[in-house]
Structure 1
């Protein structure tokens, strides 16, 4: 079971994720927000709020209860890599 071990908010569009398998990936938050919508995602358009991210039980979370699955983030970030 993959988990997120560390996160670093590097810019409004980049969050560096470190996974339990030793890999790292850049999660493009702005691209994700352009592809997904919902009431829990809306506050992430505010940079100050987006920076309040934290890890809980290996998942990427925000104070409003939003939790992004580490497995889905792993799939989302690793499927974009060019072989």
Structure 2
């Protein structure tokens, strides 16, 4: 699957999320990974591959499908998917600040 890059998309005109932990850009990488760039310049890779082994993924279940996973978008600095699933950007930022690659637990 080719890499895709999304940049900041604001659903509310004139709103610019300025918090340093807001996500500015995302690229889809192989094996359920995302390369992230935050507003403060921090970059890192979030590994979502654990989604395939969790017993109860809940709203995240569709992310197992690599094509669905690749539909990630940025809305007001937050990673979102078409089914309404999202990931807290502050949590991602905190973990990627110490380790440039982080396995997201599910």
User: Normalized against structure 2, the TM-score is what?
Assistant: 0.67
> Which of these residues, 25, 31, 40, is aligned with residue 44 of structure 2?
25
**Pairing of 1:36-75 with structure 2 (within 5 A):** 37-75=56-94
What per-residue deviation string (whole Å, max 9, x for no partner) do you get for residues 6-39 of structure 1?
00001123210000110100000103x2468432
Deviation, 1:45, is 0.6
Distance (Å, rounded) in 2 between the aligned partners of 1:37 and 1:26: 24
Unaligned runs of 5+ in 1: none
Distance (Å, rounded) in 2 between the aligned partners of 1:9 and 1:18: 12
Indicate how the Cα distance of structure 1 residues 35 and 26 shifts in structure 2: closer, same or farther if over 3 A, else same. Answer: farther
Structure that is richer in helix per residue: 1
Where does residue 29 of structure 2 map in the other structure? 10
* RMSD between superposed Cα atoms in Å: 1.9
Of the two, which has the highest radius of gyration?
Answer: 2
Unaligned runs of 5+ in 2: 1-18, 101-106
Farther-moved stretch of structure 1 (53-62 vs 66-75): 66-75
Distance (Å, rounded) in 1 between the aligned partners of 2:41 and 2:55: 27
User: Normalized against structure 1, the TM-score is what?
Assistant: 0.83
- The aligned length equals 80
